[in-house]
Each structure stands twice: as structure tokens, then as C-alpha cells.
Amino acid sequence: MGTCKRCLLRDAFPQDYEKYVAGLLRTMPASVKAEEGLYARRLALCAACDQLQNGTCMGCGCLVELRAAYKKEKCPFRKW
């Protein structure tokens, strides 16, 4: 399978998203979790970034759907 520019993991590989990311997001403590609106804005910025491939940031190697969920995390390119 080829790479998917500007695809979040949930869009490119829904089964992998459910298996690896969704459960972690559900169990993440509220004290460290970004508010839903902030999370959505961050993911929109990641989805528009040239460094996104198959849900992974090519700049730092993170799964953007996890990094964006932590309220104290930052984009390595300072987009959020």
C-alpha cells in the first residue's frame, strides 16, 4: 500500500486506529487531555501539513492523533 499524504490514521487505517489509538484516547486522564475543540483544531492543522503520512508526523515520528490529544504537547513545526 502506498503512503497517504495528509491522512490521519483513523482515515487511512481505521482498524489500526481502533486497535492502537482509540483505546488510549478513551483511557487518557482528563487532567492531561486536550479539550475536544483544541484537539479537533490541532488535527485539522496536521491534516493540512506536508509532513503527515499515514497518521505519522515525518518531522518527529509521532502518531499525530496521540500527540495532539495531550494538552501540553506541541507541534515540532510550531503549527500548534
| DSSP β-ladder status, 56-57 and 52-53 | antiparallel
User: Position of cell 504537547?
Assistant: 73
Residue 79: inside a domain: no
Q: What pLDDT score was predicted for residue 33? A: 97
Tell me how far apart the alpha carbons of residues 45 and 48 are, in angstroms, rounded to a whole number. Answer: 5
Taking only the tens of pLDDT, the chain with its 80 residues reads: 556 767 898 988 888 888 889 999 999 999 999 999 999 999 999 999 999 998 999 999 999 999 999 999 999 999 99
Residue 43: inside a domain: yes
Q: What pLDDT score was predicted for residue 28? A: 96
Residue 38: inside a domain: yes
Task: Say what the pTM is.
Answer: 0.86
Residue 13: inside a domain: yes
Tell me how far apart the alpha carbons of residues 7 and 70 are, in angstroms, rounded to a whole number. Answer: 20
Q: What pLDDT score was predicted for residue 7? A: 87
Query: 16 lies in which domain range?
Result: 9-67
How many domains does the chain fold into? 1
Residue 19: inside a domain: yes
Residue 76: inside a domain: no
